[in-house]
Structure 1
Amino acid sequence: MNRFLVILLLFTGVLLSSCITNRDLVYLQDKGDINAEDLILNQLPDLYRVQVNDILSINVKALDEELVDIFNPIEGTSSGSGGLYFSGFTVDMHGNIEFPILGKLNVLGYTIPEIKDKVERELLKQYFKETAEIFVTVKLSGLKYTTIGEIGTGVHVLQQDRVNIIEAIANAGDINETGDRKDVLIIRQYPDGQQIHHINLTDIKAMQSPYYFIKPNDIILVKPLKRKALGVGQTAIQNITTISSILSVLVSTYFLTKNL
Structure 2
Amino acid sequence: MLEFQSIRWVSLLAVMVSVGPYSGPALGDHRWPDQRQVGPLLCHADFPLDKYLPFFQEIAELQTDLVATLGVGKTREYIHLYLFSKRSTYQRYLREHFPGVPYRRALFVKGHGPGMVFAYASGDFQVDLRHECTHALLHGSLPMVPLWLDEGLAEYFEMPADQRQRGSPHTGPVRRAALFRRVADVQSLEAITGIDNMSGRDYRQAWSWVHFMLHGPAAAGDELRSFLGDIQAHVPPGRLSDRLTQKIPDLNRQFVRHFRR
**TM-score when normalising by structure 2:** 0.25
More helix by share: 2
State which structure, 1 or 2, has the greater radius of gyration over its C-alpha atoms. Answer: 1
Higher relative contact order (CA closer than 8 Å, sequence separation 6+): 1
**TM-score when normalising by structure 1:** 0.25
